[in-house]
Amino acid sequence: STGAFSPQPFVVRKHVSDTCLSSAVAEITTSPIAGMKPGTSGLRKKVEVWQGVDDANKYYVENFIQSLIDTAAENNGGKMIDTVIVAGDGRYFNNEAIQIICKVLAANGVKSIWVPQGGIMSTPAVSAAIRMREGGAAQGGIILTASHNPGGPGEDFGIKYNEEYGQPAGEDFTDALYEKTTTISSFKSLEGGDDIDIGAEVNTSFQLTEESAVTIIDPFAEYVEVLKSCFDFDAMRAFAQRPGFTILFDGMHGAGGPFAKRILVEELGFPESSLMRCDPKPDFGKCHPDPNLTYAAELVKKMGLDSDGSSLGCTDATPALGAANDGDGDRNLIAGAGCFVTPSDSLAIICDNWKAIPHFSKAGGPKGVARSMPSSAALDVVAEALDIPFFSTPTGWKFFGNLMGSKEQFDQRDYTPFLCGEESFGTGSDHIREKDGLWAMLAWVSILMDANKDVAEGEPLVSVQDVVSNHWSKYGRHFYCRYDYEAVDSDAANKMMDLIRTELVAGDVSSIGADDSGIKIVSGEEFSYIDPVDGSTTSKQGLILQFEFENGDPARAVFRLSGTGSAGATIRMYLEKFEKDESKHGEAAPVALRSLADRAIGLVQLKQITGRDAPTVIT
Ligand code: G6P
Ligand code: ZN
């Protein structure tokens, strides 16, 4: 029963029983295992590596966790941390890993270990629980996820650590952790004793040692509460009854499913038929749990969309609003009937509609907004119009965390409420310190509710498409799409990046001129970022090529290597072109951007160097 999830009816009972699982603390000899350097968000490896199938990896989980909590203790003034959440996205090996981790934590003297009933929590729910849990916030959360990477035998498993404000551990932390994995010689664990019952009733506690206990917690409580503080649940509940307002949420068999059920169905009263694939599965039902046009194909089709985001036509049965989450529930895809909303547009539209979202309207609007550099400039123009501080950061949610946390951590300017997002299907705010898939969906429910406030019952509803088109007429459209080349040979990928660096960034591009397409390269730049809050510099964050079309229209292509893959390298090419002319807004983005894509691919010699004729994903 590996990682299997059986939904438990939720029962609150104060303190059921204290079960003492008799066991002894043991110090076990181990040796360093190479390659434990966490990436953009945690350490991701094939599950067999974590399982220790090869003898050399026997203590893979133990080595990593011992190094992790030693690092956490070091940051805690040399004292072992005392409260930690351990939860996962339900992928294959979830529950086995929870058992191993609880033993290592208890043997090291971590006093309170909180495990959600069923073992599953979405990443945003963990972030909320770390920040808010009654009786004092937790000092950290160990999240078992490889996010949007597939799960199951032969697929990925991962572990990441979030710190006390609920934010992903920063580079200082992961560097120190990595150092420890290279010198580790022993770890502590428990010998003997039964496994804890992860399915036990909420508030059951298992005394693992005299000082350490595992308590089964309600996975939903803090998260539901924090969403209630962001949105008007009463108004949404009423709007859910509105004829014609149907929604469809695709959980992709990940951790977001049970949370969607709890919030959309139980709290807001949408019918069960609003949910698809909301039962977590260890292998995500063999799907690739990444909510984009390629991998969320089933939802995309149900929304009346083709795989390039263009409309195939809708019927009365097409839902008015659709959304999908990734494996751990932090990413989101938003669509309307026959209308795909690019993440960068979704972010800009949420920003422009801040009055519809209580979290922002209570404060008179967001006090700061940010996007990752590769995301489109759709947000920039809204921020300018609204005159709010705007930031363009490297890829990775932690850069937003620093900006949102500036007051509490550094006693500097207060940017909260804060709104931020990334082209990689991440959207969120300062309500937690992670991106939040369901939050994005509720933001869109709120926007539609507001757009329809003067529409009489019986009249056709203002649709997602209407909201998007109106936004484009107001601000212009930033055509945007991304090409991914997955599992490319790492040397080849680096060679291509080096070529861009030397020839198009450092080199003189003025002599290159236009080809048959008439598209000319204007300049090249490598993105680096100085954090305005802590002053740290992050360099080599993407190669930006600026272009000009024959008619003078500016466009850009950005090249970046993914920080989240687990095999070879993933090259990402981000394409963007601004169009003010409303009559041209109807085109599908990949179509509008094809000539730019061809031009960029040719210039960087992608085909020659990588041997790839076509991308793995276009989204
Ligand atoms: C994760 C992080 C995001 C980041 C994304 C980029 O989802 O949480 O903050 O944008 O990875 O992934 P990439 O594969 O492009 O490095
Ligand atoms: Zn994720």
Helix (H, G, I), strand (E, B) or coil at 404: helix
> What is the average pLDDT across 162-169?
90
Residue by residue, DSSP assigns 120-172 as B--HHHHHHHHHH-TTS--SEEEEE--TTS--STTSEEEEEEE-TTSPBP-HH
Considering only CA atoms, which residue is closest to atom 13 of ligand 1?
562
* Whole-number pLDDT of residue 407: 66
Higher pLDDT: 1 or 304? It is 304
* Whole-number pLDDT of residue 452: 98
What is the C-alpha separation between 400 and 379, in angstroms, rounded? Answer: 15
* pLDDT-wise least confident of 149-158, 259-268, 467-476, 504-513: 504-513
Greatest C-alpha distance within the chain: 77
* Whole-number pLDDT of residue 402: 86
Cβ atoms of 348 and 475 within 8 Å: the answer is: yes
Assigned token pair, 447: 């926007």
pLDDT, tens digit (0-9, with 9 covering 90-100), for 276-300 = 999 999 999 999 999 999 999 999 9
Quick check: CB of 262 below 6 Å from ligand 1? no
C-alpha of residue 562 to centroid of ligand 2, in Å: 14
Secondary structure of 291-348 as H, E, C letters: CCCCCCHHHHHHCCECCCCCECCCCCCCCCEEEEECCCCCEEEEEECCEEECHHHHHH
Could you give the residue range(s) of every CATH 3.30.310.50 domain in the chain? 477-618
What is the C-alpha separation between 527 and 535, in angstroms, rounded? Answer: 16
Closest among 413, 377, 314, 416 to 555, alpha carbons compared:
377
Considering only CA atoms, which residue is closest to atom 9 of ligand 1?
396
CATH class held by domain 477-618: alpha beta
Give the pLDDT band of residue 331 (cuts 50, 70, 90).
very high
Task: Tell the burial category of 136 from Cβ atoms under 10 Å away from its Cβ (0-12, 13-18, 19+).
Answer: exposed
* Whole-number pLDDT of residue 15: 40
**pLDDT over 70 for what percent of the chain?**
94
* Whole-number pLDDT of residue 133: 74
Q: What is the CB neighbour count within 10 angstroms for residue 548?
A: 16
CATH class held by domain 18-218: alpha beta
What is the C-alpha separation between 286 and 299, in angstroms, rounded? Answer: 16
* Whole-number pLDDT of residue 21: 55
* Whole-number pLDDT of residue 12: 32
Quick check: CB of 563 below 6 Å from ligand 1? yes
* Whole-number pLDDT of residue 176: 96
CATH class held by domain 224-475: alpha beta
Helix, strand, coil percent content, the chain, rounded in steps of 5: 35, 25, 45
pLDDT, tens digit (0-9, with 9 covering 90-100), for 96-122 = 999 999 999 999 999 999 999 999 999
- Closest atom of ligand 1 to CA, residue 39: 16
Ligand at shortest distance from the CA of 41: 1
What is the C-alpha separation between 341 and 323, in angstroms, rounded? Answer: 10
Cβ atoms of 379 and 352 within 8 Å: the answer is: no
What is the C-alpha separation between 357 and 450, in angstroms, rounded? Answer: 9
> What is the average pLDDT across 416-444?
97
* Whole-number pLDDT of residue 388: 96
C-alpha of residue 374 to centroid of ligand 1, in Å: 11
* Whole-number pLDDT of residue 427: 98
Considering only CA atoms, which residue is closest to atom 4 of ligand 1?
396
Could you give the residue range(s) of every CATH 3.40.120.10 domain in the chain? 18-218, 224-475
pLDDT, tens digit (0-9, with 9 covering 90-100), for 515-572 = 889 999 999 999 999 998 888 899 999 999 999 999 999 999 999 999 877 678 999 9
Ligand at shortest distance from the CA of 424: 1
> What is the average pLDDT across 337-351?
97
Catalytic residues: 147
What is the predicted ipTM?
Answer: 0.97
Quick check: CB of 422 below 6 Å from ligand 1? yes
Residue 13 has pLDDT above 50, yes or no: no
pLDDT, tens digit (0-9, with 9 covering 90-100), for 380-409 = 999 999 999 999 999 989 899 889 977 666
